[in-house]
Structure formats: structure tokens, C-alpha cells
Structure 1
Amino acid sequence: MKQVKLTFLFLILNFGGLAIGSWLMNNGPMTDWYTNLNQASWTPPGWVFGVAWTSIMICFSLYLGKLFTKDYRSKLIFVFLVQFILNVSWNYTFFNQRLVLFGLITIVLLTSLIFYYFFKLSKNTSYYKFLLLPYMIWLCIATSLNLYILIHN
């Protein structure tokens, strides 16, 4: 029962973070600035982002629900809060402020933190850690897209 409650809490927090990030983008992907950028040929169509982030946050919430039942330390709360801030702030940094280099630094830190979850914080979660794979894969793709824009614009 504890895991279900925690998972529900993380669903609210994670989807709340997506909503905040979306609001902070200031119409990011639909702006002339973004649409006129030289983008990588592997940039997915716009609808993929919504599907990907919905799936990622469901998986991540399930993972966190399990993780926090096994080990509820202030370190986990701190790591989650840093992840939350990095995830939300990338939208603002990249789309709203158009700071592509700082966006790249932000997304590299976020990616590193999710890999840290997988390799260091998941020892007691057995197969639940594999719920992080969609997040890890997506962040690698997003990082490459951010880097491409930095280099080619």
C-alpha cells in the first residue's frame, strides 16, 4: 500500500513538473526561433515528445514509488529535487531564454543524474531500475539534439 501511495505522489509531482516546464517554455517548439533552427535529421515529430514524456514519467513514478519504499533517506529526496529542478529548468533555459549552451549543460547534468539513479541508487529495486531505461534513452537523444543545435546554429 505504501508503494501505491508513493507512486501516486510521484505521478502528481512528475506530471506537475512537466506542466511547469511546458508553461516555462513560452510556446518553445512553436516559436519562429526554434522552427528556424538547423535541427538534426533525427529530430522526432512534435507529437512524439508528448508521448515520450508521458511514458517516461509513468515509468519514473513507478520506479520512484518502489525506490522510496526501500530506502527513504534525505539523500534520495535531495537527488529527486535536483532532478526535478534540472528537468523543469531545461525548458526555460533552452526554449524561453534560448541559452543553448546552458541548456546543454543542464541536460547533461540531468542525464548524468538519471544514470546515477540506475547504477548507484537502484541496488534494492531489482528489476524496477529498468523502468529508468526510457528516461535514459530519451535524455541521450535529447542531449544529442541539443548538442546538434549548439554546433550547427
Structure 2
Amino acid sequence: MRNIGSLIVFAALVAIAASSGATFMPGEWYAALNKPAWTPPNWIFPVAWTILYIMIAIAGWLAWKAAGFTHAMVVWGLALILNALWSYIMFGQHEISLAFLELAGLWIAIVLFIVMAWRIDPRASWLFVPYLAWVTFAGALNFAIWQLN
């Protein structure tokens, strides 16, 4: 039961961070922006993020279960905060350039977690690899939107 309870805590923490994306939606402002031709359709984003958020929760839980509260967990939490902040900066404040810089910080936090968690539980690191790939793509998209607008 302890394992299920702690997994629920990690899922709740991720859900709180994910709520930023539900609070700060793209809306009309984003729809009016110039975007590159390779911008995915809008329906892709919630599907991708749902899968990624599940993986993020499990990765954090695995690392915590294996070693407790470590520096890797601090970085995991920082990544969660940065993830939540991006939606606020981009869609809440309409700050495309600042959102890109913030996303660069998120990218670094993800890489740091992958490296730190590898020694703790490699499965946690592997679960963050799709997150890194998606944030890399999101960063390229954010940068392209910034340049086009």
C-alpha cells in the first residue's frame, strides 16, 4: 500500500503542474500567430502531454523509491515547476522570447535528471528520454514562432 500511496502523491504533484496547461490555454492570441509549416495539429499536444505526464510521475516515483529525497528529486521538482511556468509565460503573458529561454532551462533540468537518476534507477532516466525529445521539439517550435512573430 505504501508504494501505491507514494505513486499517487507523485501523480498528484504532476497533475498540479499539468493544471497550468489547462489554466493558460493557447486561445485566440496563439491562433493568430505565424507558425512554421511543421507545427503539429492542436490535438497532438494534449495527447503527448498526457503520456509524458504519466511517465514523469513514474520516473520521479521510481527515483524516490530507490533513493529517497536526493538531488535528483530536487531537479525533478524543478523541472515540474519550469514545466508549469512555461504555459503561464507563453499563453498567460504572451512572452514568446521569455518562454523560449524558460524552456531552455527546462531542457537543462531534464538532462540533469536523466544523468542524476541513471545512478539511482536507470528506468527513471529512460522514462525522461521522450520528455527530453518532446521539449527539444517544443523548443524548436517556440523558437520558430518567436522568429516568425
* TM-score in terms of structure 1 length: 0.88
Identity %: 26
**Separation in 2 of the partners of 1:67 and 1:46?**
32
**Separation in 2 of the partners of 1:40 and 1:7?**
39
Match of 2:67 in 1: 71
Change beyond 3 A, Cα 1:18–1:67: same
Match of 2:51 in 1: 55
* TM-score in terms of structure 2 length: 0.90
Match of 2:12 in 1: 12
Match of 1:30 in 2: 27
**Separation in 2 of the partners of 1:119 and 1:76?**
9
State the AA in 1 paired with 2:147.
Answer: I
**In the TM superposition, what are the counterparts of 1:4-153 in structure 2 within 5 Å?**
4-23=4-23, 25=24, 28-31=25-28, 33-73=29-69, 75-153=71-149
Q: Pairwise CA RMSD of aligned residues?
A: 1.7
State the number of aligned residues. 149
Q: Can you give the 5+ residue segments of structure 2 that lack an aligned partner in the other structure?
A: none
Q: Which runs of at least 4 in structure 1 moved beyond 6 Å after TM superposition?
A: none
